[in-house]
Structure formats: structure tokens, C-alpha cells
Amino acid sequence: MDFLCEINSKLKKMKEKNNEKLRNIKLKLIEKKKSIIAQLQKFSKKDKNIKDEYQTNFPHLGDHQDENAVEVSDYTSQLSVEHDLESELRNIEGALKKTSANTYGVCSACGEKINPKRLEVMPEATLCVKCSEMKK
């Protein structure tokens, strides 16, 4: 095999490996998305007017004061859970878009590469550590 041929086949292999990695990430993200949607659907119904927006069902208030208090506090904690799940869902959508656009692993804000270790723990991360710290 001549030199150029060897390099080309090495490059091809590298590319295939990368594609495989990306495919795995995509699958991971889709699985995560599914489980979040399932969690959201448990206590909220999808808002038809807004895409990717869920509304927590407001509890049906009965005659018993004690029960109402519990239901309302449940509702409040559900709202915050819903908010967290929604923002995670948005991140996942963003990361999925990036895998299609071949910009996965690149920070949306500064364009720097996101630390692979960070992506391993948080495959939906679209910002590098620095930018996500600044956002807080």
C-alpha cells in the first residue's frame, strides 16, 4: 500500500469511528428525551399552542381544606420539577440539532471545544464549563 493510500484509509477509519461515536451520543440523547417526556406526561399535559411546552395539571380542589393544602404544595413542587425537565428537554433538543449540524461538542456561546469529560456526564451540554458558569 502506498503512503497516500495508507493515510486515506486511516482517515476513513477515524471518520467512521467518529460517526459511530456521534451515533451513540444521538441514541443516548434520544433515550434521555424519551424518559423526560414520559416523566412530564405523568403530571402535565402538553400545551398544544407552544411546542415543547408542558403545563402542569392544576389539582382539582375538593371540599377538604387539608387535602387542598397538600394538593397545592404538590402542585408547586411539580411546577419546579416540570421547569427543570423542560429546560433539560430544551438542552437535549439543542444538542441533537448539533449532532445533525456536525457542531456537536462545540460550545454554542464561544465556539470552543467542550471538554469530552463534561459531555460524557452531560451529553446534552451545549455550552462549555466557562460559558455555563457565566450563564448562572
Residues making contact with Zn ion (CB under 5 A): 107, 109-110, 128, 131
Least CB distance to Zn ion at residue 128 (A): 3
Q: Which is nearer to Zn ion, 38 or 101 (CB)?
A: 101
CB of 105 to Zn ion, least distance (A): 11
The whole-angstrom separation of Cα 53 and Cα 28 is 22
Residue in 126, 110, 102, 108 with CA at minimum distance from that of residue 21: 102
Distance CA 70, CA 13 (A): 59
- By beta-carbon proximity to Zn ion, the closer residue of 85 and 123 is 123
Tell me the Cα Rg of the chain.
21
CB nearer Zn ion, residue 79 or residue 122: 122
Cβ at position 118, least distance to Zn ion in Å: 11
